[in-house]
Amino acid sequence: MTNININVIRKSYPAIGEAGQHLAIENLKFDVQQGEFVCLVGPSGCGKTTLLNIIADLDNSYEGEIILQSTQALYPKIGYVFQNPRLLPWRTVRENIELVLEQHNQTAMLDELLAMMQLTQIQNYYPERLSLGMSRRVAIVRAFAVNPDLLLMDEPFVSIDAPTARQVRTLLLELWQNRPHSVLFVTHDLREAIALADRLIFLSSPPMQVVSEITVPLARTERTERQIEEFRQQLLDDYPTIQKLL
């Protein structure tokens, strides 16, 4: 398991169609504890995907530092569920996942993950046959298959229907509880964030900064739809600025 210290002093992009730079992130600083499930909540375009790419080391053109300290691994492993599933169209579901496995003797683990995500029946399908919900589940299994110390998830349930999203959310929590690791989950759905997180981090429009960090006081067994809704109302009453970030 891994402790993460995030400190992005500046991240800019070249401004589109004009001279100069677009400042995406400035002085963004927070930590994630070992085994903690943190939801990042912020408006569209505020820089959430940019931040996950920086943490995943896919983007190193920024000023600042990301420190991953692991008690077990020298190089903590990161699983990343991208905003779009990004499956290779010429490989089957199973082959897409096998690509990320370090050893080929991990068949039992893969079979178990496929079964948990109810993908066993379709493991030999090519991605073109999958619904978006199925593709997203495959992308989640692929991220879990690396046995990550840190799991990054970028709005993984957008554009899947509500009952499927609820079912996959429950499966995700089961997987997380079976194999504890830190999670950074991006969403702009406050109910979803409250249902999943130990802690919520609210982010502002560019340049992105932390607006508030709030621990969810509900026990996991207590998170019924009514309790989630009550806590959501209480949050919006106590922190009126949050409304603007959704």
Shortest reach from residue 45's CB to ligand ADP, in Å: 4
- How is residue 96 written in tokens? 């897409």
Give φ, ψ of 58 to 5 degrees. -90, -15
- The partner in contact with residue 24, picked from ligand ADP, Mg ion, none with C-beta cut-offs of 5 to 8 angstroms by kind, is ligand ADP
Nearer to ligand ADP, 62 or 231 (CB): 62
- The partner in contact with residue 47, picked from ligand ADP, Mg ion, none with C-beta cut-offs of 5 to 8 angstroms by kind, is ligand ADP
Question: How far from chain centre, in Å, is Cα 1?
Answer: 16
Q: Which residue is nearest to Mg ion (CB)?
A: 49
- The partner in contact with residue 204, picked from Mg ion, ligand ADP, none with C-beta cut-offs of 5 to 8 angstroms by kind, is none
Angstrom CA distances, 99 to 50, 115, 121, stand at: 25, 18, 19
Bond preceding residue 207 cis, omega within 30 of 0: yes
Residue 64 is classified by DSSP as E
Shortest reach from residue 67's CB to Mg ion, in Å: 23
Beta strands per DSSP E along the chain: 2-14, 21-32, 37-41, 63-70, 78-81, 150-154, 182-187, 199-203, 210-215
- The partner in contact with residue 22, picked from Mg ion, ligand ADP, none with C-beta cut-offs of 5 to 8 angstroms by kind, is ligand ADP
- The partner in contact with residue 180, picked from ligand ADP, Mg ion, none with C-beta cut-offs of 5 to 8 angstroms by kind, is none
Shortest reach from residue 223's CB to Mg ion, in Å: 25
Shortest reach from residue 26's CB to ligand ADP, in Å: 12
Residue 101 is classified by DSSP as -
Nearer to ligand ADP, 46 or 55 (CB): 46
Using an 8 Å Cβ cutoff, are 224 and 191 in contact?
A: no
Which residues sit at the interface with Mg ion, rule CB under 5 A?
49
Which residues sit at the interface with ligand ADP, rule CB under 6 A?
13, 16, 22, 24, 42, 44-50, 206
Shortest reach from residue 116's CB to ligand ADP, in Å: 28
Nearer to ligand ADP, 3 or 50 (CB): 50
Nearest CA to 209 among 53, 40, 60?
40
